[in-house]
Structure 1
Amino acid sequence: MILAPTWPVTHRISSSPLIVLPPLAVYLVLALPRFPALWAVVSTTDLGLITAFFGRPDGAAILWAHVIAFDLFVGRWMYLDSRERRVHPLVMGPLLVLTILLSPVGLLVYLAIRVLSGRPAPGVPAGGRPPVASETR
């Protein structure tokens, strides 16, 4: 998505949401054996407990796999949306790197680009959603 954004194989691979399966598999392998402790952490507001869990190597690895999976999912959406909107790959490459490193910042910048470009995706009416097949008859 960053190095070969216009290559048809990149688009084919990125078009499937299954692209996030590898980091999700890592997440499950790490999280399932520790699920009771993980659940205790994510279902509390105790910052000390959260810090203690994610400060350990196993907790940090779980968190990292979680973050990578969601960064990849968000980056995938940004890539596909930018291709539809014809945002230049030289803009999107650095933005996708930013999204990998600081996903909330990258997503915010991309959302601003979407608003500022004022260009809806081709084939999408001004309302923002493509017509359903039954509506086009």
Structure 2
Amino acid sequence: MDPQLLFALGFPLAAPFWALMIVAPGWSVTRRVIGSPLIVVPALLVYAVAVLPALSDVLPAVASPTLVGVAGLLGSPLGAAAGWAHFIGFDLFVGRWIFLDARERGIPHLVTAPVLVLTILLGPLGLLAHLVARAVRQRSGAAVPS
């Protein structure tokens, strides 16, 4: 399949879920939709369509990774499209966990919304920000469910 098309599909398939978490956190539809881990399936399917036909090239690069090998893999249009789908799918999965964990722990949405935006843009930093917010919330003595 065309790497440009695969790349172009990635974020639009995830964007509605991010929008629900950021813009409509209290809506019953949001709770129902985001409650399912299956929201990541569209991005994961894009990844599968990119990677599975090229598995003979991908597997050696990830089974015994080297900087040059991974750079070569990600440096191709297909590798970049697969990498992007990987980021989109895993960032959405992490964002979903952040959203649900923040609600469970009573972290205000005014804190969580920017963390979710950070997670969209720079996934690991968004996760780190949530872990800090979570620790601050717990340390502040706020009632945190066990």
How many equivalent residue pairs? 123
Q: Which residue of 1 aligns with 2:120?
A: 100
2:71 paired residue among 26, 41, 51 = 51
Q: Residues 21 and 117 of structure 1: is their aligned pair in 2 closer, same or farther, counting only changes over 3 Å? A: same
1:41 paired residue among 61, 67, 77 = 61
Q: Residue deviations 1:21-41, cap 9 Å, x none?
A: 010011111111011111011
Report SS of the residue matched to 1:2.
helix
- Superposed CA RMSD: 1.2
Q: Residue deviations 1:25-72, cap 9 Å, x none?
A: 111111110111110111123211211110111000001111111100
Q: Which residue of 1 aligns with 2:31?
A: 11
Q: Which has the larger Rg? A: 1
Q: Write 1 or 2 for the structure with the bigger share of helix.
A: 2
Tell me the percent identity: 50
Structure 2 unaligned blocks of 5 or more: 1-20
Report SS of the residue matched to 1:59.
helix
Q: Which residue of 2 aligns with 1:110?
A: 130
